[in-house]
């Protein structure tokens, strides 16, 4: 990411999409705007760019001393921009050369002139120019006159109220750290260099690292907090005190951040550290002596230790050779899980080669040379399970290995040893095998995959769905059917396997995710195992976000096959994309229309009108379409098509009773609760948090779902566009 801080800097004439704002905290609302900007820029071939300021407007235009402090320091804000896919950042001081420009001159000089902006994105309440004369209406008019696209992004709500920097600051001041962090979508972070203290903590067996709280930052209430501390590139669970340490120095007014790390004992003097504040524990108290304070310190340490074990907060612990280790500590489940995951753009031959390769990895390793030996090893780890991961998200393929193991036995060693086994299975796939034996193994896995693929073809509804997707997307990578057809599988050579493996080793996004009882020993072992990988500069999460496909209406199709069924598939374009906060309204709409036994498709078309013995809906949220599917008879095909359109129209004109809408919401709520209580699903939520920034906490999901209004669902329904109707029939007279 390129960062420009000088007003006179030379700027290239690349066409840009530019987000304008202060972006203090880069909270949920900011992230919504920036994600939408990045996706649009990639679609239009623009450079995703941020234009912001090093000063806060309140510092320049407010009363002296009125600004309460930044929610983020400059480096953390830049890191957040980079993680969201921003490529250029212009961060300038708020000086007269900028704020004295009229709104028209500001846009002309900077956006049309120096930045060559072809897209400008702002929030709904944006204002700019001298006297704040430029708002969203002015921006839209200017963009229309200058041939520039405008993107006005609405507010994001959490717990029924708008997310804003002011609300976040108030939550921190009210000591509601968890609410504030939920709105930020990341913990509040403070940074500094460790300074020399009086070593009182070390003398009593609780060594601490402390630094002066930066004056520019929002001052949190004095007190004890659950926290995390990053030192030497790794995050550790910790307990922190923010305040003036009245027990140690009653006369001090120097506000310091002092932290004890649970699993770190090395000297941190003069090292840069970062502290993330997670939960308020109690206020700062003055004791008569340090010795008098010690019992309370032990109580606080135990309370915070329990918080870390139960809070289920995701964190990127560290990176080894460019591979982040992302963890979720939880003690609710008997099994722990780990996943070594790769994300890469879909390329047909590579996709097929990786399918074969990963299946091979789950059958044997260099140490356990036969499937039977590997199964025995897994059984010895408490019946651990090793499996290949194959998923498709639009034009992005996800490949990897996943392992689960019980944690309550063997002192938690099973999960640690299982993770080592998983990485051994990956890293040793090409080593220490007799060439002839490897070739036999390779051909066997190909034949197994071909048999699996042919078996899938026997599912006529699956064939109809696949044919609809392929017709609609017409050769775009979003339509590639994993793992390819039988001929494509047969054509894969050992050289193709090696090329695919080399791509994973050096060029693909890679991360290791682990959930369960996370100990320092487990993390140490993971870090050691990941040194098997070469050091590489890998793509970040935002680099692997799916690109939007081109969706255009197609003429209806009728396909004759050997099926005895008559299958009707209607493809429609969804209302909201995967990266928009509005997707929650889309989820409710999908559940209402075709989500389950109380949906309109099921109760109206299947039960009441008997138009088919199977009628359901398949949402493909990442590519922005849904398929309405019916297995019926030829004489009812037209009625099915009309019924699909009628039920869509019923929602669009608000002809659905409120109780049906509420039932759809409750059904989704039940699904959320089920996911929250499933250990494997919690691992998937950890992955989505890391890749997309989606909250992994059920309270946030419940809030987003609760905030979906009736009008939101109607709006989604009115955005739905039919794209294609396909009929698959075995009637040769059709």
Whether residue 519 contacts residue 487, with contact meaning beta carbons closer than 8 Å, is answered with no
The CB density around residue 212, as the number of other CB atoms within 10 Å, is: 12
Higher pLDDT, 129 or 164: 164
Listed as own residue / partner, the contacts of 662-669 with beta carbons closer than 8 Å and 24 or more positions apart are 663/598, 664/588, 664/591, 664/592, 664/595, 664/598, 664/599, 665/588, 665/591, 665/705, 665/706, 665/708, 667/591, 667/595, 667/596, 667/598, 668/587, 668/588, 668/591, 668/595, 668/705, 669/702, 669/705
Q: Is 232 helix (H, G, I), strand (E, B) or coil?
A: coil
Q: Answer whether residue 161 is part of any domain.
A: no
CB neighbour list of residue 157: distance below 8 Å, 6 or more residues apart: 163, 703, 707
Domain count, the chain: 4
pLDDT (average), residues 245-251: 75
pLDDT (average), residues 505-534: 93
pLDDT for 316: 96
How many Å separate Cα 159 from the centre of its chain? 21
Whether residue 181 contacts residue 220, with contact meaning beta carbons closer than 8 Å, is answered with no
pTM exceeding 0.75: yes
Q: Is pLDDT of 549 > 80?
A: yes
Pairing of strands 314-320, 396-406: unpaired
pLDDT for 408: 65
Question: Are residue 307 and residue 362 in the same domain, yes or no?
Answer: no
**E strands, 461-550, where?**
509-516
Last residue of a domain, one of 544, 574, 589: 544
Q: Answer whether residue 33 is part of any domain.
A: yes
In angstroms, the CA 311 to CA 345 distance is 35
pLDDT for 496: 93
pLDDT for 675: 85
Q: Which helix (H) or strand (E) holds 495?
A: helix 494-506
Residue 428 banded pLDDT, cuts 50, 70, 90: confident
Percent of the chain with pLDDT over 70: 97
Last residue of a domain, one of 281, 311, 341: 311
Question: Are residue 524 and residue 588 in the same domain, yes or no?
Answer: no
pLDDT digits (tens, 9 = 90+) for 203-242: 666 788 999 988 899 999 999 999 999 999 999 999 999 9
CATH number at residue 139: 3.40.50.620
pLDDT for 733: 44
pLDDT digits (tens, 9 = 90+) for 678-732: 888 889 989 999 999 888 788 888 999 988 888 999 999 999 999 999 998 875 4
Pairing of strands 509-516, 335-345: antiparallel
pLDDT for 732: 47
Question: Are residue 331 and residue 306 in the same domain, yes or no?
Answer: no
> Which of 14-18, 314-318, 713-717 has the least mean pLDDT?
713-717
Question: Are residue 536 and residue 597 in the same domain, yes or no?
Answer: no
Q: Is pLDDT of 59 > 80?
A: no
Q: What does 76-110 look like in DSSP terms, one character per residue?
A: HHHHHHHHTT--EEEEE---HHHHTS-HHHHIIII
Helices (H), 107-224: 136-146, 165-173, 177-184, 200-203
CATH number at residue 306: 2.40.30.30
Q: Answer whether residue 41 is part of any domain.
A: yes
Question: Are residue 438 and residue 505 in the same domain, yes or no?
Answer: yes
Residue 86 banded pLDDT, cuts 50, 70, 90: very high
Task: Supply 656's token pair.
Answer: 């659905």
Whether residue 47 contacts residue 16, with contact meaning beta carbons closer than 8 Å, is answered with yes
pLDDT for 563: 62
pLDDT for 734: 40
Q: Is pLDDT of 354 > 90?
A: yes
CATH number at residue 666: 3.30.830.10
pLDDT for 199: 66
Question: Are residue 524 and residue 486 in the same domain, yes or no?
Answer: yes
pLDDT for 595: 83
Interhelix angle 583-594/698-706, rounded to 10 degrees, is 70
Q: Which domain holds residue 536?
A: 318-544
pLDDT for 432: 61
Question: Are residue 15 and residue 77 in the same domain, yes or no?
Answer: yes
Q: Answer whether residue 181 is part of any domain.
A: no
Last residue of a domain, one of 288, 311, 334: 311
Alpha carbon of 420 to those of 31, 66, 158, 331: distances in Å? 36, 54, 40, 21
Q: Answer whether residue 734 is part of any domain.
A: no
Interhelix angle 435-457/494-506, rounded to 10 degrees, is 90
Question: Are residue 66 and residue 199 in the same domain, yes or no?
Answer: no
Please state, rounded to an integer, the average pLDDT across all residues of the chain: 89
Q: Which helix (H) or strand (E) holds 378?
A: helix 371-380
> Which of 367-381, 409-423, 501-515 has the least mean pLDDT?
409-423
Question: Are residue 299 and residue 322 in the same domain, yes or no?
Answer: no
Question: Are residue 351 and residue 304 in the same domain, yes or no?
Answer: no
CB neighbour list of residue 309: distance below 8 Å, 6 or more residues apart: 329, 331, 517
């Amino acid at each position: 990411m390129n960062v420009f801080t000088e007003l006179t800097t030379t700027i290239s004439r690349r066409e840009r999409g530019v987000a304008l704002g202060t972006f203090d905290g880069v909270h949920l609302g900011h992230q919504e705007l920036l994600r939408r900007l990045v996706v649009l820029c990639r679609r239009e071939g623009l450079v995703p760019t941020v234009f912001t300021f090093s000063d806060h407007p309140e510092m320049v235009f407010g009363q002296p001393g009125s600004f309460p402090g930044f929610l983020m320091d400059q480096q953390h804000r830049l890191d957040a921009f980079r993680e969201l896919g921003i490529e250029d950042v212009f961060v300038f001081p708020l000086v007269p050369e900028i704020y004295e420009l009229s709104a028209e001159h500001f846009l002309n000089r900077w956006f049309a002139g120096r930045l060559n902006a072809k897209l400008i994105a702002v929030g709904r309440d944006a204002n700019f120019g001298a006297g704040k004369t430029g708002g969203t209406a002015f921006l839209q008019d200017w963009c229309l006159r200058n041939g520039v696209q405008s993107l006005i992004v609405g507010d994001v709500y959490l717990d029924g109220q708008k997310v804003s920097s002011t609300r976040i600051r108030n939550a921190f001041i009210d000591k509601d750290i968890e609410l504030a962090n939920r709105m930020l979508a990341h913990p509040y972070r403070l940074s500094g260099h460790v300074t020399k203290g009086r070593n009182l903590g070390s003398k009593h067996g609780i060594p601490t690292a402390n630094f002066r709280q930066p004056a520019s930052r929002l001052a949190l209430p004095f007190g004890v907090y659950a926290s995390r501390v990053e030192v030497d590139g790794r995050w550790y669970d910790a307990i922190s005190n923010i305040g003036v340490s009245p027990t140690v120095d009653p006369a001090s007014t120097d506000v310091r951040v002092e932290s004890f790390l649970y699993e770190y004992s090395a000297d941190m003097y003069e090292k840069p550290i970062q502290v993330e504040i997670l939960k308020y524990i109690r206020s700062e108290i003055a004791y008569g002596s340090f010795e008098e304070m010690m019992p309370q310190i032990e109580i606080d340490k135990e309370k915070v230790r329990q918080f870390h074990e139960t809070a289920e907060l995701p964190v990127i612990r560290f990176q080894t050779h460019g591979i982040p280790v992302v963890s979720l500590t939880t003690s609710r489940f008997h099994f722990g899980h780990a996943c070594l995951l790769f994300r890469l753009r879909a390329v047909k031959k590579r996709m097929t080669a990786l399918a074969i390769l990963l299946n091979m990895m789950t059958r044997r390793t260099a140490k356990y040379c036969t499937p039977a030996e590997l199964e025995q090893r897994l059984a010895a780890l408490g019946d651990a399970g090793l499996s290949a991961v194959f998923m498709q998200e639009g034009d992005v393929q996800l490949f990897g290995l996943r392992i689960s193991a019980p944690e309550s036995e063997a002192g938690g060693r099973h999960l640690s040893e299982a993770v080592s086994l998983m990485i051994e299975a990956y890293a040793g796939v090409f080593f220490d095998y007799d060439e002839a034996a490897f070739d036999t193994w390779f051909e066997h896995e190909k034949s197994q995959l071909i048999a699996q693929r042919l078996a899938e073809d026997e599912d006529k509804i699956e064939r109809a769905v696949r044919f609809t997707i392929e017709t609609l997307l017409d050769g775009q990578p979003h339509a590639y059917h994993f793992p390819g057809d039988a001929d494509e599988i047969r054509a894969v050579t050992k050289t193709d396997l090696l090329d695919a493996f080399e791509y994973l080793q050096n060029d693909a996004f890679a991360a290791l995710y682990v959930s369960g009882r996370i100990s320092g020993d487990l993390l140490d072992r993971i870090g050691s195992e990941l040194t098997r990988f070469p050091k590489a500069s890998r793509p970040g999460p935002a680099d692997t976000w799916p690109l939007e496909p081109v969706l255009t209406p197609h003429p209806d199709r009728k396909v004759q096959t050997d099926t005895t069924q008559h299958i009707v598939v209607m493809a429609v374009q969804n209302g909201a994309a995967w990266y928009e906060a509005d997707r929650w309204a889309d989820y409710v709409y999908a559940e209402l229309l075709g989500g389950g036994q109380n949906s309109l498709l099921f109760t109206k078309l299947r039960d009441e009108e008997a138009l088919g013995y199977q009628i359901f809906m398949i949402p493909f949220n990442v590519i922005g379409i849904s398929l309405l599917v019916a297995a019926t008879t030829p004489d009812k095909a037209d009625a099915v098509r009309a019924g699909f359109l009628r039920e869509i129209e019923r929602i669009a004109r608000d002809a659905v009773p409120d109780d049906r809408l509420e039932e759809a919401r409750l059904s989704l709520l039940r699904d959320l609760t089920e996911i929250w209580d499933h250990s494997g699903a919690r691992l998937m939520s950890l992955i989505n948090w890391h890749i997309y920034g989606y909250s992994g906490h059920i309270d946030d999901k419940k809030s987003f779902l609760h905030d979906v209004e009736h009008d939101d669902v109607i709006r989604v329904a009115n955005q739905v566009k039919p794209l294609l109707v396909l009929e698959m029939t075995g009637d040769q007279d059709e």
